[in-house]
């Protein structure tokens, strides 16, 4: 066997640890801090979005409530006017009845 084959055979049988690119401790700490900061920013953003959505829902509900209240007020005014007409009519009828008798 020639030298190259012997060398390859020898190298194949040896244990070679995996080539890990180990990060320095300060790089790990920096990455963890950035991850925490990113989580906080995402949470703040979600909180703001949820708050804005809740505010929009509240505004919509308030607008609907005002519209319902306005419609109910109009309905009550119509009922009041109808009652007033009926009362006037009843008073006229009663007055005629008193005059005739």
DSSP secondary-structure letter at 20? -
Average pLDDT in the 75-83 region? 97
Q: What confidence score (pLDDT) does residue 82 get? A: 97
Q: What confidence score (pLDDT) does residue 1 get? A: 61
pLDDT per position as a tens digit, 2-49: 888 888 777 777 777 777 777 788 888 999 999 999 999 999 999 999
Residues 78 and 72: their CA atoms lie apart, in Å, by: 10
Residues of the domain holding 91:
24-100
Residues 36 and 42: their CA atoms lie apart, in Å, by: 10
Residues 36 and 32: their CA atoms lie apart, in Å, by: 6
Instruction: Indicate the pTM of the whole model.
Output: 0.51
* 71 belongs to a structural domain: yes
* 59 belongs to a structural domain: yes
* 17 belongs to a structural domain: no
* 81 belongs to a structural domain: yes
Mean pLDDT of the chain: 90
If one counts the domains in the chain, the total is: 1
């Amino acid at each position: 066997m020639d030298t190259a084959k012997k060398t390859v055979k020898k190298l194949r049988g040896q244990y070679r640890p995996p080539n890990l690119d180990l990060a320095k401790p300060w790089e790990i700490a920096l990455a963890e801090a950035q991850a925490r900061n990113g989580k906080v920013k995402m949470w703040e953003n979600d909180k703001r979005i949820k708050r804005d959505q809740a505010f929009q829902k509240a505004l919509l509900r308030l607008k609907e409530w005002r519209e319902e209240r306005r419609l109910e007020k109009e309905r009550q005014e119509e009922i009041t006017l109808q009652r007033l007409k009926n009362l006037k009519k009843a008073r006229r009828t009663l007055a005629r009845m008193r005059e005739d008798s």
